[in-house]
Amino acid sequence: MRHALILAGGAGTRLWPLSRDALPKQLIPVLGGKSLLEEAYDRLEGLVPPERRFVCAAERHRSVVIEAIPSLGAGSGKVGRYIGESEGRDTLAALALSCSLIALEDSEAVVGVFTSDHVIRPLEEFRAVADAAYALAEADHNCLVTFGVEPDRPATGFGYLELAQGGEGIVPLPGEAGPAARRVARFREKPDAESAAAFLAAGPGRYLWNSGMFVWRASFFLELVARYEPAMSAALGELVSHAGADDFRDRLAATYAGLKKISVDYGVMERASRDPGVRIAALPLGLEWKDIGSWPQYGELLRSDAAGNSASGEAAFAECSGVLAVSTEAGHIVACLGCEDLIVVHTKDATLVCPRGRADELKKLHAIVAERGGGRYR
């Protein structure tokens, strides 16, 4: 059967100081009172039924997430539909744990992995592409399916999919008369500026952004985790054998603390792209796709004036261009004079001022700020 897993454990440090440990970006109501996670969950309507939709996020956020999406509080058998991580160990651990738990209930599960920090429209087109991805994974047991996005700038904050060329690069879709999927020759994680510019210049027939969304058979994905990261596979296998036990959360915390911290792209996808026993197919997302992972992307959700200035909350601009101003406090105005390509964000206890062109480097500042005040500003 088809299942859906939404990853919602990201820290969102590139949206600091709005995004915090206690309420990261995917839980903040930024879409007309609706959070990005709620939108991601509703996006699956008509594609996967609610009883087979899962969310993997921090255990400490369990109550706030289930309050927003009450149906996640329901569960059957040994597996609840909110999979709580005791700590963040990057995406491979989250996916291996989640797929292991889902496979307990359905050994033939085909799992779609979706992100919680994207804006994707129109919905019907997305659902059609996702349906094709499920069909491809169902038809080909040894296929990992991903979704690629056509780059529109030389972004260094995204990973890239290098597409195979020639006839071997085409992957027919089962029962589909439309455009075929493309075989992925290599995963390229977050390149430097020079490489990103070269990828953009090569065109979307050669490189696509990695959307971070996948579809695969849970059993095959877990087989690859065992092949490439045997220690993680063994540890999680032992843990999942105790699913449903009263002390499962304590066991999870003890196991998680010792897991290798590695992304699924490095841990599985890059290795799989060089493995002759694996096929990786990319389906292009020919629709509106925004990764709300940094302040420039957040600004794209807002209306801009003729000079490219945009604001959330009270703001005023004089002789400015390309400025994003955000104020979360009622009665507090952010006023900018003679500023260009600047980001200014004011919250009740922190203010950020940053050149727009360096927004992807915000993690550097966040690490410094996190040391101040005993973690108060995290």
pLDDT above 60 for 176: no
Minimal CA–CA distance to 324: which of 349, 350, 304?
Answer: 304
Cα torsion through 84, 159, 145, 128, rounded to 10: 90
pLDDT value at residue 137: 95
Q: Give the model confidence (pLDDT) of 96-135 as tens digits.
A: 999 999 999 999 999 999 999 889 999 999 999 999 999 9
pLDDT given at position 29: 80
Q: Taken in order 331, 337, 341, 342, is the CA torsion positive or negative? A: negative
DSSP line for 66-132: HHHSGGGG-EETTEESEEEESS--HHHHHHHHHHHHHHHH-TT-EEEEEESSEEEE-HHHHHHHHHH
**Omega before 17 cis (within 30°)?**
yes
Report domain extents, the chain: 2-290, 295-375
74 has a pLDDT exceeding 80 = no
Please name the CATH architecture into which domain 2-290 falls: Alpha-Beta Complex (3.90)
Predicted confidence (pLDDT) at residue 79 exceeds the cutoff of 50 = yes
pLDDT at 75: 63
The pLDDT assigned to 263 comes to 94
Rounded to whole angstroms, how far apart are CA atoms 103 and 54? 12
- Give the best-scoring range by mean pLDDT among 153-162, 172-181, 320-329: 320-329
Cross-strand pairs, 55: 6, 82
Residue 77's pLDDT is 60
Confidence of residue 177 (pLDDT cuts 50, 70, 90): very low
Give mean pLDDT, residues 223-247.
96
Q: pLDDT > 70: what percent of the chain? A: 96
308-340 pLDDT, tens per residue? 999 999 999 999 999 999 999 999 999 999 999
Closest CA to 186 of 293, 286, 278, 289: 278
pTM of the model: 0.88
Q: Mean per-residue pLDDT for 9-20?
A: 86
**CA–CA gap between residue 378 and residue 371 (Å, rounded):** 8
Mean pLDDT across the stretch 356-369?
A: 88
Which of 32-36, 190-194, 197-201, 306-310 has the weakest average pLDDT? 32-36
- Bridging pattern class, strands 110-115 and 82-85: unpaired
Q: What is the pLDDT of residue 139?
A: 92
The per-residue pLDDT for 324 is 97
Spell out where 218-322 has E strands. 279-284, 288-291, 310-312, 315-318
Cis? peptide before 284, omega within 30° of 0 = no
Q: Are 6 and 56 in contact (CB under 8 A)?
A: yes
* Average pLDDT of the segment spanning 18-45: 87
pLDDT of res. 9: 86
- Under the banding of pLDDT at 50, 70 and 90, the label for residue 158 is confident
Which residue would you say has higher pLDDT here, 31 or 303? 303
Beta-carbon count within 10 A of 202 CB = 14
Confidence of residue 76 (pLDDT cuts 50, 70, 90): low
Put residue 331 in one of left, alpha, beta given phi > 0 → left and psi -120 to 50 → alpha: left
- Integer-rounded Cα Rg, in Å, for the chain is 21
**Euclidean distance between CA atoms 148 and 282, whole angstroms:** 6
Would you state the structure tokens that stand for residue 84, as one six-digit string? Answer: 């709580």
- Cα→Cα distances 254→79, 87, 236, 239, 240, Å: 19, 10, 11, 10, 13
DSSP string, 299-359: HTTS-B-TTS-EEESSEEEES-BS-EEEE-STT--EEEES-BSEEEEE-SS-EEEEEGGGG
> Does 221 have pLDDT greater than 70?
yes
Q: State the CB neighbour count (10 A cutoff) for residue 234.
A: 11
Mean pLDDT, the chain, integer: 91
Please report the pLDDT score of residue 188 as a whole number. 87
Position 342 confidence tier, pLDDT thresholds 50, 70, 90:
very high
Tokens 């995406």 map to which residue? 91
